[in-house]
Amino acid sequence: MSRPGSRPDERGVNKNGDPGGHLSVLTDTLTAAVRPETRLLSAFKRDIDVRKVYLAGREYYSEEGKTFELRLVGKIKQQLSADTTLRPEYPPCFGLTEFSQQATDVALGKSSRAVIENRVLGVQTPGFTAAVRLGAELLKHWYDACAAWCGPVYLSSPCDDSLAGIFQAAGIQDICEYYYWDDKQRGVCLEKLLEDLERAPERSVVVLSASAHYPTGADLSQNQWAVITQLVMRRRLFPFLLLPAQALCNGDLERDAWPVQYCASQGMELLCAQSFSHCFGLYGEAVGHLLCVSKQNSHRLSVQSKADKIVRSLWAQPSVGGAHVVATVLSNPAHLVEWQREVKCIVERCMLIRNILRERLRLLGTPGCWDHLTQQGGLFCCTGLNGQQVEFLSNRRHVYLLPGGCLNVSAINGGNLDYITESIHLALTTSL
């Protein structure tokens, strides 16, 4: 039965102006807010100044300013493409077993008690974001099923701006922040961090960066982790750890994963999202992994059952190309040594850039202390520049940083280092 006034006329248009009398389901679709990185990249591409520099990218850039492919990874890809025993077929929904085993071992250690007692579930995912999403979906299920963990999700301030949206997409709307980076002391403020977590309701989820914190590059020390872990256990909080670029922070797999191994050694239940895209240069192949460590191996089966259902509804099967590369490298001692050597060169180059940038700023007499540049690690660092100074850099100097003053260290090279240093100096000394 038609609504009054909805009968179509001879042209097929009703009195409400709707062709055919049908309303579009897309009429009230809201336009999503444009991400800061997207706006920055668009502005950079429109910029015609020959001196322009983009320091907000997420990839590792070589000295030539190009995204970098590790020599070993290229060689392994060629070998795999020539391997006639590898047939095109769908992998299991949890991904390649060999990859998952290797990913679990590098995060928890082969001698991990949780691994030996079969209390760990590993799931290959199409990238880091998908690993976080799967973890969020499992949390939402636990919320709905038994309210064993039912508090809000706490994210660091600042953090990757996509994290809140991932949890919200899984149906978790209660998102809070805990204090992390302090602009004045230009580092992690443990005191305020602990104050925020102390006030968090019991059974809250706390998302913590194990290493390579994005976007600041400022990581917690082992002593700080020990203090935080005690608070998390005492307050009955649930840790969701992030390991987005293992080995790219300190040049060592085990050192970067130490917080994950420490938490597991304390008998804590936890989730850990991993990514191998950065550390293997597999940016277009999205190789992620989710670890779930439970208290009892009987819990593992129920988590596995639920994870299977979630995965089949989200992506069914992950792609296997990048996972084959990672598994091949991590399972072969000779390949592993070669890969670690290449990664260490990347880490050493980034640290050299940090040291040179700090020294050049000192020689220019740039206001402030810049020691924090070398106290951070990985690809990213937080300069401590405020919004007005960041805007000066993009508008007046054509140097593009993230809004919070964070940048990708690897995008600095011999061709732009002097210009970037001079630009930062001017941003701090020019009257705006």
Domain 36-68+346-427 class?
alpha beta
CATH 3.40.640.10 in the chain: give the residue spans. 90-331
Question: Judging by DSSP bridges, how do beta strands 238-243 and 205-209 pair with one another?
Answer: parallel
Q: What type of residue is 56?
A: A
Predicted confidence band at 298 (pLDDT cuts at 50, 70, 90)?
Answer: confident
Which CATH architecture best describes the domain 90-331?
3-Layer(aba) Sandwich (3.40)
Do 322 and 89 meet the contact criterion of CB atoms below 8 Å apart? no
Instruction: Determine the average pLDDT of the residues in 398-414.
Output: 95
Spatial separation of the C-alpha atoms in residues 194 and 79, rounded to whole Å: 49
Predicted confidence band at 282 (pLDDT cuts at 50, 70, 90)?
Answer: very high
Predicted confidence band at 27 (pLDDT cuts at 50, 70, 90)?
Answer: low
Partners of 154 in the β-ladder: 176, 206
Beta carbons within 8 Å of 33's beta carbon, 6+ residues apart: none
Interval 142-155: pLDDT, tens:
887 765 566 799 99
Residue 21: its pLDDT value, please? 57
Q: Does 201 have pLDDT greater than 80?
A: yes
End-to-end CA distance of the chain: 66
Q: Does 431 have pLDDT greater than 70?
A: no
Interval 300-350: pLDDT, tens:
888 999 999 999 999 998 999 999 999 999 999 999 999 999 999 999 999
Whether cis (ω within 30° of 0) applies to the bond prior to 152 is: no
pTM of the predicted structure, to 2 decimals: 0.90
Do 251 and 258 meet the contact criterion of CB atoms below 8 Å apart? no
Residue 37: its pLDDT value, please? 81
Question: What's the mean per-residue pLDDT of the chain?
Answer: 90
Instruction: Determine the average pLDDT of the residues in 174-196.
Output: 94
Q: Does 199 have pLDDT greater than 70?
A: yes
Interval 81-120: pLDDT, tens:
888 787 777 888 999 999 999 999 999 998 999 999 999 9
Spatial separation of the C-alpha atoms in residues 200 and 236, rounded to whole Å: 10
Instruction: Determine the average pLDDT of the residues in 215-228.
Output: 96
Question: Judging by DSSP bridges, how do beta strands 120-125 and 288-293 pair with one another?
Answer: antiparallel
- In the chain, the percentage of residues whose pLDDT exceeds 90 is 76
CATH 3.90.1150.10 in the chain: give the residue spans. 36-68+346-427
Spatial separation of the C-alpha atoms in residues 432 and 430, rounded to whole Å: 6
Residue 301: its pLDDT value, please? 87
Encode the chain in three state secondary structure.
Answer: CCCCCCCCCCCCECCCCCECCCCCCCCCCCCCCCCHHHHHHHHHHHCCCCCCEECCCCCCECCCCCECCCHHHHHHHHHHHCCCCCCCCCCCCCCCHHHHHHHHHHHHCCCCHHHHCCCEEEEEECCHHHHHHHHHHHHHHHHHHHCCCCCCEEEEECCCCCHHHHHHHCCCCCEEEEECEECCCCEECHHHHHHHHHHCCCCCEEEEECCCCCCCCCCCCHHHHHHHHHHHHHCCCEEEEEECCCCCCCCCHHHHCHHHHHHHHCCCCEEEEEECHHHHCCCCCCCEEEEEECCCHHHHHHHHHHHHHHHHHHCCCCCCHHHHHHHHHHHCHHHHHHHHHHHHHHHHHHHHHHHHHHHHHHHHCCCCCCCHHHHCCCCEEECCCCHHHHHHHHHHCCEECCCCCEEEHHHCCCCCHHHHHHHHHHHHHCCC
Question: Judging by DSSP bridges, how do beta strands 380-382 and 406-408 pair with one another?
Answer: antiparallel
Interval 111-141: pLDDT, tens:
999 999 999 999 999 999 999 999 999 999 8
Residue 379: its pLDDT value, please? 93
Residue 15: its pLDDT value, please? 55
